[in-house]
Amino acid sequence: MTERILIADDEKLIRWSLRKNLLSAGYEVLEAEDGQQALEMVEDEGADLLLLDIRMPHKTGLEVLAHMAEHNPEIPVVLMTAFSSVEGAVDAMKRGAFDYLMKPFNHDEVLLVVQKALHATRLQRELALLQQQHQIEFGTEDFVGKSEKMREVCRLINKIAASTATTVLVLGESGTGKDLAAKAIHYSSNRADQPFVNITCSALPEQLLESELMGHEKGSFTGARERKRGLFEVADGGTIFLDEIGDMAAGLQAKLLRILEEKSFRRVGGTKDLQVDVRIVAATNRNLEQAVREGAFREDLYYRLMVIPVDIPPLRERLEDIPLLITHFIDRFNVEFRKKTLGLTSDAMECCEQYGWPGNVRELRNVVERAMILENKEFLDLEDLPHALRAPFESFDGSGSTGRTGTAAFELPDGGYGLREMEQQMVRQALEKTEGNQSRAAELLDISRDSLRYKMRKFGMF
């Protein structure tokens, strides 16, 4: 779309000259003879940029600038004047002008200023749109589920986001969505327009991780050819997400504790303390309390991080959320893969609801993604799920088969027999035969240990 520039100047020759050059550069041009007319044209026809003479009748350029700063701050304003002074230029910039042009014009300079102003505005709009998308994508609404445990997690995240807390610890098994929790905290807070940066603490050796976090000075170690800003500097005003913090080396733990306590740090090889304002969201799937007892994690850092813990429940503890999650992922992959899958068959859904999901939501997402990549059906069936997932379910499919040999293991009486009761009896017998050894009982039933534990919980056996 052609960008529209409004020229406001009481000298007709000036307007003609500017109009000619801007039209030849491909812009749409509007003209106003005074400041009041300029404001009326902005209201009626809109504009992407204003070129304002400072001295005009009815309303001066500075008066128009003040009005625009209050009512249309997204539209850049460039002031023009024949009276040069450094004080005037500085004052114009303080009042919100993008730039300041002197008459007589160098038309190449005018085009350069116009291009810079429009480019800066486009970037601001794109950034605002991106921030809005992030707030939608990474808000607590992205935590799909109706279970009470997830509703409680969302309530806690919203409280943290609205607070001034600068230290948060997110706990949970691998695949539960700890990174989503960190993003939700950031993008639901007043820090949302500032940087969100993340790093996995186990991904780099200690020296490199320290350099990434703190930055380094030129010559501080072999290969440090120039000064580098660390992630704490980059995230100033925003949020830094430290994933897998339980694997951070002891030396770095001490430096992180200092940042938490004093809000300052030094670059590697530096001598100057740097102050930062960051919210630190740390996450781990390790048992930090046990790591403290074993001497693998600092006790003082543990208690400093544990001020506000957020515990993300594993998927097996919120099985009622599985249908909603499956629908959510199907909708997402329908868009991504341009497909029209409506859902799962009843058998496939029941299988998913009975599976233990050791990989949590990440595993469920991968299962749905795999099925939708390989199949093009309205409803995904049991056969479209991975063998490891459907095997335990098929071993109790009511066909009279054990799922191993195909020979009859149970003769259905004429009066019928409840499948749930039969399944309960099989689980109880397996546990009795193995004297409560769950791993051996799972082997007898040809299911995973997680599936066995799910069935035990289902039948109230522990």
The tens digit of pLDDT for each residue in 46-70 reads 899 999 998 888 888 889 999 998 8
pLDDT band at 402 (very low <50, low <70, confident <90, very high): very low
Which segment of 147-156, 217-226, 257-266 scores lowest on mean pLDDT?
A: 217-226
Higher pLDDT pick, 201 / 91: 201
Model confidence pLDDT, tens digit, residues 291-347: 999 999 999 999 999 999 999 999 988 988 999 999 999 998 999 999 999 999 988
pLDDT band at 87 (very low <50, low <70, confident <90, very high): low
Which segment of 154-158, 304-308, 350-354, 454-458 scores lowest on mean pLDDT?
A: 454-458
pLDDT of residue 134: 53
Statement: residue 364 has pLDDT above 80:
yes
Model confidence pLDDT, tens digit, residues 15-45: 999 999 999 999 999 999 999 999 999 998 8
pLDDT band at 130 (very low <50, low <70, confident <90, very high): low
pLDDT of residue 298: 95
pLDDT band at 395 (very low <50, low <70, confident <90, very high): low
pLDDT of residue 411: 62
pLDDT of residue 160: 95
Statement: residue 196 has pLDDT above 50:
yes
pLDDT of residue 445: 83
**Percentage of the chain modeled with pLDDT above 70:** 88
Residue with tokens 């550069």: 25
Which residues on adjacent β-strands are paired with residue 4? 28
Model confidence pLDDT, tens digit, residues 373-384: 999 999 999 999
Higher pLDDT pick, 362 / 143: 362
Please return the burial class of 407, using the count of CB atoms within 10 Å of its CB with bins 0-12, 13-18 and 19+: exposed
pLDDT of residue 83: 67
Statement: residue 172 has pLDDT above 90:
yes
pLDDT of residue 89: 58
Higher pLDDT pick, 102 / 336: 336
Which segment of 133-147, 359-373, 403-417 scores lowest on mean pLDDT?
A: 403-417
**What's the mean pLDDT in 209-231?**
88
Higher pLDDT pick, 417 / 228: 228
Alpha carbons within 13 angstroms on the beta-carbon side of residue 331 total 7
**Percentage of the chain modeled with pLDDT above 90:** 54
Statement: residue 197 has pLDDT above 90:
yes
pLDDT of residue 409: 47
Statement: residue 142 has pLDDT above 70:
no
pLDDT band at 398 (very low <50, low <70, confident <90, very high): very low
**What's the mean pLDDT in 208-223?**
89
d(CA 451, CA 455): 6
Statement: residue 359 has pLDDT above 60:
yes
All domains of the chain in start order, with CATH: 4-131 (3.40.50.2300), 138-313 (3.40.50.300), 315-394 (1.10.8.60), 397-462 (1.10.10.60)
Mean of the per-residue pLDDT values for the chain?
A: 86
pLDDT of residue 120: 87
Which segment of 150-159, 161-170, 221-230, 263-272 scores lowest on mean pLDDT?
A: 221-230
* Cα Dmax for the chain: 105
d(CA 275, CA 287): 31
pLDDT band at 416 (very low <50, low <70, confident <90, very high): low
Higher pLDDT pick, 165 / 456: 165
Statement: residue 131 has pLDDT above 80:
no
Within its chain, how far is the Cα of 401 from the centroid?
Answer: 47
pLDDT of residue 50: 95
